Amino acid sequence: MARRDSLKASGYSRCPNIPRWYNRPILTPTSYPMNYQIEALFTTALGLQPPWHVAKVELNTGRRRIDFEVEHTGHRAACPVCGAEHQLIHDRVRRSWRHLDFFQFEAWLHAEIPRVQCDGCGKTTQLPVPWAREGSGFTLLFEALSLSLCREMPVRQAANQLRVAPKRLWRRVRHYVEVARARDDMSGVRYVGIDETSVKRGHAYITVVHDLEAKRLLFATPGRDHATLQDFAQDMRAHGGNPLAIKHACIDMSAAYAKGIGKSLPNAQISYDRFHVVALANAAMDEVRREEMRSSAVAVREAVGAQSKKTLRQLLWGMRKNPVSWTRAQFEAMHWLQRSNLKSARAWRLKQALQLVYRDAAASNSEEIAQGAMSKWLSWARRSRLEPFKRLALTLKEHFGGVVRGMLDGRSNAYVEAMNGLLQQTKTAARGFRNIENFIAMAYLRMSKLKHLPQNPLVPAIARDYGRYRHVC
C-alpha cells in the first residue's frame, strides 16, 4: 500500500490492461511557461549554442510564415579580426536570413548581431553567426538545399520551388563551386580526354578536360584554341597537379589541341579517339551518298528496287546503323544496296571495314596487328576512287601513330562524348544563364564530383551541425 501511494505521488499511473513497462511518468509543465519551452525547442532544432538562443517565435498563419528572433546574450566577445578575448560589444546591427521551411511555413531568422570594438587592433567588426556565411541572406542549410536542387533540376525550376529569384541561386552556385574547386586535388591525374562543346548554337564554344580514370570534369574554359590547354596546365598546378605527369591525352583531330598538348603537356602521348575517326568515316560515306543521289538519282532508285521516298529513307538509316539494329525494311533496302554497283555501296563497305579494324585491334591488343590492319584499310581507301575516302585516308595517314594508339588504349573519349551529352542537358538546366561563367559553374556542380560542397540537409539520419559548413564561409 505504501509502495502504491509512493508511485502515485511520483507521477506514475497504473492501468490493469497496459503492460507495466508501458507506464510512463505523467509530467506537467509547472516549472516553466509554455513560451519558454517553445523557444527552447526551436533553439535546439536550429542547432544554436550559448550565447545564441531563440528569444521569440511568431507564427502568421495568414502569410504562412514563421519568424524566429535570435538573441546574443553576451556582453563581451572575442575580436573576429585579431582574436583578442573579452572585448566590449560596441553596438548591434539587425540582420535577417531565409531558412528551411518549418511545418510548411516559410521560415525566417532575425537577429541583432553584435559588433565588437577591439582594443587590440582598433577595429569594429561584426561577429560571425553560426547559421549563415557573411553577406548571405540565406542560412547555410537553405543554401545547401538550393545547391542540391540545382543539381537535379533547372535553376529556374529550383528557384520556383524555393520561392526565390533565379539570380540569387546563380550567385550561390558560383560561390560554392569556386570554394569547392579551390580545395580540389589534381595531383593524381595522369590520363585526360579533351574536347569542345557548344554553348550557344554555332557561336560560342568551351573546351572541357576530363579525368579519364576518375570519370569527372577537371576543367572548362571559353574557347577552343591551343591557349585553352595553357590555361588548363596553370589551373592544374594551382590544384596540386603537375602537367608534366600527364601520360596520355585523347583528342579529336584538332590541330589546335595537338599544338596545345605539345606546349603545355609535353610528356603526354596523343591518341585519336575511335568515336571521331568513325565519325569522319560516316561523314565521308554520307558525302558519297548525297553526291550520288544528286548525280544519279534514277540509277539509285533502280538499284534499291523501289521508287518510293520511304525506301530511300530506310536506306539512309540502314547505312548509318549497326546491321544488328536493322529493321526489316532497312534490311531489305540494304540487301538491294549491297547487290548493286553503286558508289554508296562501296562507301558503306569501307565504313564497316574500318569498324572491323577497330574491333580486331581491340581484341588482339597488338600494335603490330593494328598497324597492319590499318595500313591495309588505308590502301583500300586510297584506291577506292571515292574522293571523300581518299581525303580521309590521307588525314589518317598523317595521324597514323595517334590513330593506332586510339585503337589499343582503352582510355577513349567515349566517356567525354557521353559527358558532352550531359553538358547539353546542363545547358537546358541552366536555361536563362546570361554568361558562359554560369554555364561552366553548373557544369562543375553536376560533373566534377566535388568533395567539398555542402550536403543535402534533407538526407535522413544525419546529425545536423552548423560547424560542418564552416569550411564554405
Q: Return the domain boundaries, the chain.
A: 34-131, 145-182+452-472, 191-273+413-447, 274-408
Enumerate residues 6+ apart whose C-beta is below 8 A from 431: 154, 155, 156
What is the Cα–Cα distance from 251 to 274, expressed in whole angstroms?
A: 10
Closest by Cα among 215, 210, 247, 271 to 408? 271
Closest by Cα among 181, 96, 174 to 131? 96
Closest by Cα among 57, 54, 73, 48 to 131? 48
What does the DSSP 8-state code read for residue 248? Answer: E
pLDDT value of position 430: 62
* Cell 548581431, residue located: 113
For 267, phi and psi rounded to 5 degrees?
A: -95, 0
What is the Cα–Cα distance from 106 to 223, expressed in whole angstroms?
A: 43
pLDDT in tens, 66-110: 999 999 998 889 999 998 998 989 899 999 999 999 888 999 999
pLDDT value of position 376: 95
What is the Cα–Cα distance from 146 to 158, expressed in whole angstroms?
A: 7
Q: What's the rounded mean pLDDT across residues 295-306? A: 70
For 257, phi and psi rounded to 5 degrees?
A: -65, -40
Residue 333's SS3 state is: helix
8 Å CB contact between 320 and 282:
yes
Q: First-to-last CA distance in the chain? A: 63
pLDDT band at 57 (very low <50, low <70, confident <90, very high): very high
pLDDT value of position 303: 65
8 Å CB contact between 194 and 230:
no
Fold annotation for 191-273+413-447: Nucleotidyltransferase; domain 5 (3.30.420)
Q: In the structure grid, which three cell numbers stand for residue 190, read together? A: 595522369
pLDDT band at 133 (very low <50, low <70, confident <90, very high): very high
8 Å CB contact between 212 and 415:
yes
pLDDT value of position 116: 92
Residue 198's SS3 state is: strand
Q: In the structure grid, which three cell numbers stand for residue 154, read together? A: 533547372
Read off the amino acid at residue 287: E
pTM here is: 0.78
| Position 8 pLDDT exceeds 50 | no
Read off the amino acid at residue 306: A
pLDDT value of position 12: 45
